[in-house]
Structure 1
Amino acid sequence: MSTMPWLTLLMVVPLLGAAVVALVPGVSARLAKQLALGVSLLTLALGIAAATQFSTTSSEQFQLTEQHEWIPQLGVSYALGVDGISLALILLALVLTPICILAAWDDVPEGGRRERTYFALLLLLLPFMVGVFAATDVFLFYVFFEAMLIPVYFLIGSFGGPRRQYAAMKFLLFGLAGGLIMLVAVIGVYLQGPGGSDGFLVERLTGLSMDATTERWLFLGFFIAFAIKAPMVPGHTWLPDAAAEAKPAVATLLVGVLDKVGTYGMIRFCLQLFPEASKWATPVVITLAIISIIYGAILAIGQSDIMRLIAFTSVSHFGYIVLGIFAFTSTAQAGANLYMINHGFSTAALFLIAGMLVARRRSKRMDDFGGWQRVTPGIAGVFLIAGLSGLALPGLSSFISEFLVITGTFQRYPAAGAFAALGLVLAALYIMLMYKRMMTGPAPTVDPELTEMPVPQDAPFTSAVRADLDADRPVRTIAPVKDITLREKLVVAPLIAVILVLGFYPKPALDLLNPAVERTLQLVGATDPAPTAPAADTGSDH
């Protein structure tokens, strides 16, 4: 047990910061933004300090542990701890939060209490993200799992696009439905366990002896909730609406971090608590993962809304993660866990850079752009790097993840690996078509007399013939716009740096993840399949 409550500090500091930003009288909107950014950076510094106390050679499953009685009558403990997987995801949340706060600097131009509330809610997400990855008590995990819904609901429903209320309600209903199903399973697994004042602890519920039917039903209760959160087909439909209507910073945290709770939960709870049921369900889960990869990619190709396109690419990417988890090989598991980290950064770059373009053009329709690499060459350059990472170009971080997942899947399920490889081709299509539609072609005409960007009509015509709202200028005429600003460079630079560093040197991340991967496979009782290729003939006589 850690002498310093590092994980509690990582929750208390942003929680207090959010309260100050939202509730203290006299805090101006500008000061609120500065406080939110400062608190998020302080929390990141504490997270880095906590990470230095983590040992990759420890024989303990969880480190930096804390445990206190919370509701002993129900067997609930305030129990926290991390392994390499959860620590990596916590660090992902800690890094992306200040980046998103900086990216959201001008999201609420009206200022006042509304702007303070927006940044307080962004900061409030952080303790819930830390808690859900750090909880080692199943009931405490469920509490954080549900609590995350609250700030996201208000961030989408109060600050999103024209269909924000529909998207927020859909997000909430899907989340609550999955959570209620999981609650039944949480109670069920506790009743199967040893009970006592700490009967919800993961280590006490691991290795329980239960009949096959009970284990399978409990597995399904957890898996359905995690598949909705992940999101996997067919429980994915809330994501495109939520991501398209949310502000880019909110969409980044939603898809880049919060959705990882689904895949993390599959590893931590489905595999660890129900190993035999996990093996029983593997053929169906792998089938759903392949469908998610292909279906998400095909729908991404057909999108005209840039934010919905990025959301559907994530449906496809999460299919790879789930495939790697349930392939039950060390290579695929390592790839799936690394994919969660790499996807967080590459998707953050796509969402935030797309948000910069949308803010300038005042439209999310890709056909309302065209030739913008001549208008904003700096943004076009970083957008291309983010897109190439999304299609897993060698040398960028996502390539290592997908290569490990597909290679590890081929070791046990060659057909599934072949279908997963098809997703690489589709990814190249949706990324390059997106870039072509938005960035290449003749440059639009810049009219210096325009003081603000004309808003294109929603008439169902091509961009070549649609007219702007003023009906006097063609859609190809735009107001003067700035290329990437200093603040935007500060947003993009760390994301591009991580994409490049992990693309060329993923070893530090894999060293952190691999011990937890090996322990997970041991708990499931899975071993890597033996090589099927015949031994090479050495030419010696026998």
Structure 2
Amino acid sequence: MSDFPFLFLLIVLPLLGAIVVAIIGRDETGQDIAKKAAVGFALAELLVAVVMLVAFEPDGERLQFTTSVSWIKSLGVSFSLGADGIALLMIVLTALLVPIVMIASWRRESLGDDINEPGSDDPDRPASGSRARYFAWILLLEVFMIGVFAATDVFLFYVFFEAMLIPTYFLIGGYGSSRRRPAAMKFIIYSLVGGLVMLGSVIGLYVVSRSEGAATFSWDALRQMDIDSGTQTWLFLGFFIAFAIKAPLVPLHTWLPASGAEAPIGTTVLLVGVLDKVGTFGFLRYCLPLFPDASRDLAPLVLVLAVIGIIYAALQAIGADDVKRLVTYTSIAHFGYIALGIFAFTTQAGAGAVLYMFNHGIATGLLLLTVGMIIARGRSRRVTDYGGVIRVAPWLAGITFIAGMAGLALPGTNSFVSEFMVLLGSYGREPVFTIIASIGIVFAALYVLWLIQRMLMGPARGVVPMPEGGYGGHADHSSSTHDADADEDAEVHGRGATAVKQRAATRTARSVRERVFGDLTTREAGVLAPLVVLVFVLGFYPQPVLDIINPAVEQTLQIDVGIDDPGAPVDSSANGAGK
């Protein structure tokens, strides 16, 4: 099956789906059919990705399922696709999260996407666009995300890299919270600046290849060229800045907390679960193989940024009250570990970094989805508005707890293997940076356990209703509703009995809504179950995934970068070691 055009099909299928869903969903009557069609295309995409994963040969050719068609012949540009083990995992992760996000976001209120940022004074209300159109944008984004991981032509990669901005901008700006427009604008400005800098390096690569007598954008041809160290440094910086923005590394990270907090939860899952991985993937696919000398020379700078990001983002997460913003800061800390693993230049740390990229998408995606379900019930994004969720929604609270434990890399969860490999593999070459990064483990425990304690544990309070029959505590709803009720009564005073009755009915409906918190529905349980299973399966037996990763990482470090690697391929059959 190595000759089957899996990658081309994976790009065409969601593109066709986006067109079909956009056409069907134009009318209000076709909304449900369009949403079902979108999920159908996404599930078909996942099926193709799984078949491709099974057909992949870890010990075979470096790039498999290759397809190449001449595109702009005069410039040596081709529509070339191929996947090694690293790209394959990112493609599978993309195909897995898209249908999960769609089903979880079936209605606008399903994940609390109609709730504003805490303390927002923006008069705009959260966007309420068509769900069918929202799903069509997600399918279009999937096209470009698959393309950016599969491209083996540098110019084609750049086209996909920039094209991702279009659907992402509309997903944030068209469907987010009250401050969605500034967040979307910040995202687009950062991304465009990074893309323009990278374009300069793409052009520079072409000029260098032409001076060598073979003008090309082929990744395989470019990585075999002998570019002098000075030129490598400048070209490396162009790619690195774009990837560092996308990753994101501190201090180029500020777009993510704003975008992640204001975007719909489903979009945030794709932002931190897949889109940000384009940056770390770019380090492995382009920076290291194309500019090995510059990668080695500038590695200390990257490591400094990585460990600063780990500590800084963890401290920001500890102080955050907006739960969506808190989770996005945890992701910035996690990306610091990934960058540490990549630029430590050992197979063990590099394989751990790639596994971390995959596992982070699963664990953080799970946490964001459960947080969104809590927000949808409590109608608030403030951590301090919650307490005792486990009393009224034990299954939802339990899965949120599992996601939190995976986020802090508890042994037995998927993130532990990744983080342990990164730290263990990095220590031999970079002991100082590794020790500083290890401090982030303590901070991770602080922000995760504090989040769990404040939101899930203790007596019900704030927006969480008291369970029927009581339990010795009480829910404090009066403080959050008394002032609003008084204002409403004052507002309608003198307007007549009809107005009073209408206000009373509205107030009663709101009171009932506040007290109907509820546990997981069948749809929500079905959405979360695959991610929970993967958290534990990859936590106890990650070896099949490592078998896919190790050859690609070895080839990148030993063949492309020329590193005499002290780390051997990892057999992680034991996951019970202390952290």
TM-score (norm 1): 0.91
Work out the CA distance in 2 between the residues paired with 1:45 and 1:415.
44
Amino acid at match of 2:374: L
Alpha-carbon distance between aligned partners in 1 of 2:413 and 2:4, rounded to the nearest angstrom: 37
**CA displacement at 1:51 relative to structure 2:** 2.1
Does structure 1 residue 145 correspond to structure 2 residue 161?
A: yes
Matched, 1:493 2:529: yes
Gaps of 5+ in 1: 450-461, 532-542
Structure 1 residue 471, shift from structure 2 partner: 4.1
User: 1:52, CA displacement in angstroms?
Assistant: 2.6
Q: Deviations over 1:231-263 (max 9, x none)?
A: 000000000010101111110011100100000
- The aligned counterpart of 2:9 is 9
Partner of 1:427: 444
Shift of 1:210: 2.3
Cα shift readout 1:102-129 (whole Å, capped 9, x = no counterpart): 0110127999972221111111111111
| Separation in 2, partners of 1:7, 1:468 | 58
**What per-residue deviation string (whole Å, max 9, x for no partner) do you get for residues 347-399 of structure 1?**
10011110001111111100111111112111100000000000000000000
User: Contact between 1:108 and 1:115, CA under 8 Å: does it hold in 2?
Assistant: no
SS in 2 for 1:69: strand
What are the superposed Cα offsets for residues 448-505 of structure 1, whole Å, 9 maximum, x if unpaired? 99xxxxxxxxxxxx99965566346999x94222211101001110010000000000
Cα pair 2:197 2:241 within 8 Å, conserved: yes
Measure, in 2, the Cα distance between the counterparts of 1:436 and 1:31: 42
1:164 aligned to 2:193?
A: no
Give the structure 2 partner of residue 65 of structure 1.
Answer: 66
Select between 315-324 and 464-473 the one with higher mean Cα deviation. 464-473
For 1:511, the equivalent position in structure 2 comes to 547
Alignment of 1:10-89 (within 5 A): 10-24=10-24, 28-58=30-60, 60-89=61-90
Question: CA 1:448–1:493 in 2, change beyond 3 Å: closer, same or farther?
Answer: closer
Residue 391 of structure 1 aligns with which residue?
408
Equivalent pair of 2:72/2:78 in contact (CA under 8 Å): yes
Q: Which residue of 2 aligns with 1:525?
A: 562
What is the TM-score normalised by the length of structure 2? 0.86
Matching residue within 292, 297, 306 for 1:275: 292
Match of 2:124 in 1: none
Task: Give the C-alpha shift of residue 229 in structure 1.
Answer: 0.1
Q: Is the 8 A contact 2:129 2:174 kept in 1?
A: no
Amino acid at match of 2:271: L
Deviation at 1:207, TM superposition (A): 2.9
**Which of 465, 477, 481 in structure 2 is aligned with 1:446?**
465
> Which is worse superposed, 499-508 or 204-213?
204-213
RMSD, aligned CA: 2.5
Residues 409-460 of structure 1, C-alpha deviations (whole Å, 9 max, x = no match): 11111111111111111000000001111111212373899xxxxxxxxxxx
Determine if contact 1:320/1:402 at 8 Å carries over to the other structure.
Answer: yes
Name the counterpart of 1:93: 94
Structure 1 counterpart of 2:411, which letter?
P
Q: Which of residues 519, 534, 550 in structure 2 aligns to 1:483? A: 519
Counterparts of 1:208 and 1:369, CA distance in 2? 58
- Deviation string, structure 1 residues 50-106 (Cα, Å, up to 9, x no partner): 223211111x22110001100111221100000000001000000111000001101
- Higher mean displacement: 103-112 or 148-157: 103-112
- 8 Å contact kept, 2:346–2:567: no
Could you tell which deviates more after superposition, 123-132 or 220-229? 123-132
Matched residues in 2 for 1:337 and 1:84: separation? 10
Change (3 A) 1:469 1:83: farther
Q: CA deviation at 1:2?
A: 4.8
After TM superposition, list the pairs within 5 Å mapping 1:312-391 onto structure 2.
312-391=329-408
Q: Distance in 1 between matches of 2:373 and 2:544?
A: 32
**In the alignment, is the contact (CA less than 8 A) between 2:460 and 2:466 conserved in 1?**
no
Q: Is the 8 A contact 1:322 1:336 kept in 2?
A: yes
Does the 8 A contact of 2:106 with 2:131 survive in 1?
no
Q: Is the partner of 1:193 in helix, strand or coil?
A: helix
Partners of 1:498 and 1:51 in 2: CA distance = 16
Q: Give the match for residue 484 of structure 2.
A: 470
Matched residues in 1 for 2:441 and 2:224: separation?
Answer: 38
What is the total number of aligned residue pairs between the two structures?
A: 518
Which amino acid in the other structure matches residue 563 of structure 2? A
In the TM superposition, residue 265 of structure 1 has moved relative to its aligned partner by 0.1
Which residue in 1 is equivalent to 2:134? 118
Q: Which has the higher mean CA deviation after the structures are superposed, 103-112 or 277-286?
A: 103-112
Q: Which amino acid aligns with 1:21?
A: V
> Is residue 72–residue 197 contact of structure 1 (8 Å, CA) maintained in 2?
no
